[in-house]
Amino acid sequence: MSYISAIVELMNQDSTQDPTNDFDFLAGSWNIHHRRLKQRHVGSSEWDEFSGISQVRLLLGGVMNVDENIFPSLGWSGATVRIFNRQTQQWSIYWVNSAEGRLQAPVVGRFEDNVGEFFGDDTDQGLPIKVRYRWRRQGTDQAHWDQAFSWDGGETWETNWTMAFNRAAWPGRP
């Protein structure tokens, strides 16, 4: 087990006791395989696939974390800000990308065991939608994220983006 894997494993053990540690597993660097649906809301099954990298930092003792996601083949990047509300015991997740420069409406939710679900309202192509992010912790060196939209108030969902995370070495470390 690598040094980084051992640290993340310790952080994951704490996450069952304190929800402010829910996203500690993401700390560090990741190589990501992306699949993004070519067309949404038309029943498409064609996906664009591309690689990316991400660097995640924990802040404020765990109640906040930020990441930068770089998509070299797309020519733009994005950033996520996650904030834990101690009063509601829920996370709010905000996304912005360099192509639009617009902070999107948050999704809000929590983890149960190793799965986190987060929901919000937004628009897509001018239409009101429900948004769902689903995180799956898969040990210390892998994770999975997917995004789905609903045009019918949450009755049905179309997954339109998935990300398979594989831990990368931290700069300057083996």
Looking at domain 3-168, which CATH architecture does it have? Beta Barrel (2.40)
Domain assignments of the chain as residue spans, ordered by start:
3-168
Total Cβ atoms within 10 A of residue 47: 14
pLDDT of res. 169: 75
Residue 5 confidence (pLDDT): 47
Q: What is the pTM of this model?
A: 0.85
**Could you state, in chain order, the average pLDDT of each consecutive group of 10 residues for the chain (174 residues)?**
45 61 94 96 94 96 95 94 97 96 95 96 94 95 97 96 91 48
**Which pLDDT score, from 0 to 100, does residue 7 have?**
42
* Residue 81 CB coordination number (10 Å): 16
Q: Which pLDDT value is given to residue 171?
A: 57
